[in-house]
Amino acid sequence: MVDLNQRKSEVQQAGKAARDFIVSLTDELSFVELDTFAFSKSDFFEEAADVGAGVVTGFARIGDKPIYLAVQNEHDHKGGMTKAQADKILKAMTQAEKAEAPFVLVLSGKGARIGEGLAVMDGFARLAAKASALYGEIPLITVIRGDTFGSAAFVAAQSDFVFTVGEAQLATNSSAVIAAKKPDLKAADVAGPKAQAENGSCSVRVADAAELRIKLNELLDLLSGEIAEVGEDSLNYSCAGLNEGYDPEKILSCVLDPGSFFELNAGFGEEVRIGLGRAGGFTVGVLLCADETNGVKIGNAAARKISRFARLLECYGIPLVSFVNASGTAVCPGAERHGLMREVGSMMSAITDLCAPKISVVCKKAQGAGYMALAAKGLGFDYVLAWPEAEISLLSDEVALNTVYAAELAASKDPEAARAELAEKYARLESDPMNAAKDGLIDNIIEPSTTRQYLISALMMLTA
């Protein structure tokens, strides 16, 4: 007969680090554990790993919002994942799917445990398949709590959101493999937080468990589908500061509900910023062009970033609001060699497929593909506004000067003065937002200070 108290004590001790982390992350006394006594054992090793599966699973609440979670314990099985771990996580995922609750997967391991052979790889494959099946069904959030390498990285890559805690690393290959290939290269340069931001694998970086809890609570609140209560005054206030010109920070602080912007994938595709936020209590997906002057040129990473964001919004029926200052696509041989047209085409496809309301505010420039992708009625935008100083045209200023006015520039005795004069002429004749409005491509030309009021009115109608 097994001594239950002794076994409980052994199990609790073996998974103490994981359980302590859960306690710090979730509401007090809300965690209920699943499969407490499940364990892994491999004849490949002399020791029997019979006091835990190396992962703790269960359900709990964060900010009173229900979640399921699985927290890997890096101290078990030399940091490797076993078939029993995969089975346990898969079972918790299935429970989350039935309950229609978000699933939080906390990883900290070095890949598959040596000695289990293809059985553990099949376990990874089933986890990857389940992650794919859950896409769009429930929020799937992966937390990289410690260094995570190998097949677990592929599961993380299929998540809706990836949080990185502190200096945790995430990569396909382990630090040892990376170092062996190029000894002078530090693993952190390939797999650390900075590298994760640059390759787009990390959605949000947090310092510790306390900040992680705050950020998860904010995210779950935005994904809840509930309309937050706001005061009548909040719906109607004027954003006078926007009359001074296009400023992404002022838009975030004034047009959106105060403090509601939750940025995603900062450091990746930096021409644009994306995130979730609220406007008049409504959750919206926000896309801002980062350039305050001449308009961004969308490159490969930015197009990929927008594509993934649009797909995410489609999964959860969240409206898209784009604030546009874009003068086309990147003019770069390297971008073309790396498939720029394919990336931009995929971006346009993702935006077209987004059935949730799409609203665009042309703040400064919407030219060429910048207009087509981020503001065009033909791509399905339901409501398009423009500020009075906006420039909306087929070609960017640069392309127009080098093509339409090429002969005039060549004949000019003062090329610099001619360029300025011709740029002003093109803006007046071709880029005036009134031209687009006359053709029904712009619904209204508004004062920047009224942007919030128009946006909330549109959301009230389009989401009714």
Look over the chain and give the mean of its residue pLDDT values, rounded to a whole number.
86
Report how far residue 155's alpha carbon sits from residue 218's, in angstroms, rounded to the nearest whole number.
Answer: 23
Instruction: Give the pLDDT of residue 191.
Output: 86
- In the chain, the percentage of residues whose pLDDT exceeds 70 is 82
265/283 Cα distance (integer angstroms): 18
Please report the pLDDT score of residue 14 as a whole number.
Answer: 64
pLDDT category at 205 given cuts 50, 70, 90 is very high
Q: What pLDDT shows up at residue 48?
A: 45
> So what's the pLDDT on residue 95?
97
**pLDDT at position 426, please?**
64
Quote the pLDDT of residue 379.
Answer: 94
Residue 436 pLDDT: 87
Q: Which of 20, 164, 39, 29 is nearest to 106 (CA)?
A: 164
Residue 53: predicted pLDDT: 65
Q: So where are the chain's domains?
A: 4-218, 230-462
**13-23 pLDDT, tens per residue?**
667 888 999 99
Torsion of CA 68, 74, 80, 83, to 10 degrees: -30
For position 277, what pLDDT does the model report?
97
- Checking if the pLDDT of 213 tops 80, the result is yes
Q: What is the pLDDT of residues 353-374, one digit of tens each?
A: 999 999 999 999 998 899 999 9
pLDDT at 232: 79
Position 271 scores a pLDDT of 95
Whether 105 shows a pLDDT value over 60: the answer reads yes
pLDDT for the residue numbered 366: 93
Question: CA 122, CA 83: separation in Å to the nearest integer?
Answer: 8
Please give the residue that has the higher pLDDT: either 48 or 92: 92
- Pick 113 or 439 by higher pLDDT: 439
Fold match, 4-218 / 230-462:
yes
Written in H, E and C, the secondary structure of the chain is: CCCHHHHHHHHHHHCHHHHHHHHHHCCCCCCEEECCCCCCCCCCCCCCCCCCCCEEEEEEEECCEEEEEEEECCCCHHHCECHHHHHHHHHHHHHHHHHCCCEEEEEEECCECCCCCHHHHHHHHHHHHHHHHHCCCCCEEEEEEEEEECHHHHHHHCCCEEEEECCCCEECCCHHHHHHHCCCCCHHHHHCHHHHHHHCCCCEEECCHHHHHHHHHHHHHHHCCCCCCCCHHHHHCCCHHHHHCCCHHHHHHHCCCCCCCEEECCCCCCCEEEEEEEECCEEEEEEEECCCCCCEEECHHHHHHHHHHHHHHHHHCCCEEEEEEEEEECCCHHHHHCCHHHHHHHHHHHHHHCCCCEEEEEEEEEECHHHHHHCCHHHCCCEEEECCCCEEECCCHHHHHHHCCHHHHHHCCCHHHHHHHHHHHHHHHHHCHHHHHHCCCCCEECCHHHHHHHHHHHHHHHCC
Digit-coded pLDDT (tens) for 39-77: 655 554 444 444 556 889 999 999 999 999 999 887 655
Cα 290 from Cα 248, distance rounded (Å): 7
Per-residue pLDDT of 373-416, as tens digits, reads 999 999 999 999 999 999 998 766 666 555 666 667 666 777 67
Q: Is the pLDDT of residue 454 over 80?
A: yes
Which has the minimum average pLDDT: 36-50, 177-191, 193-207, 242-256?
36-50
Mean pLDDT, residues 158-170: 94
**Class of the CATH domain delimited by 4-218:** alpha beta
pLDDT per position as a tens digit, 118-133: 777 888 889 999 999 9
Higher per-residue pLDDT: 407 or 141 = 141
- What's the pLDDT tens digit per position in 430-444? 778 888 889 899 999
Q: How many CB atoms lie within 10 A of CB 414?
A: 9
The CATH homologous superfamily of the domain defined by 230-462: 2-enoyl-CoA Hydratase; Chain A, domain 1 (3.90.226.10)
- C-beta separation of 276 from 297 below 8 A: no
Lowest mean pLDDT among 77-81, 89-93, 298-302, 358-362: 77-81
What pLDDT score does 112 carry? 60
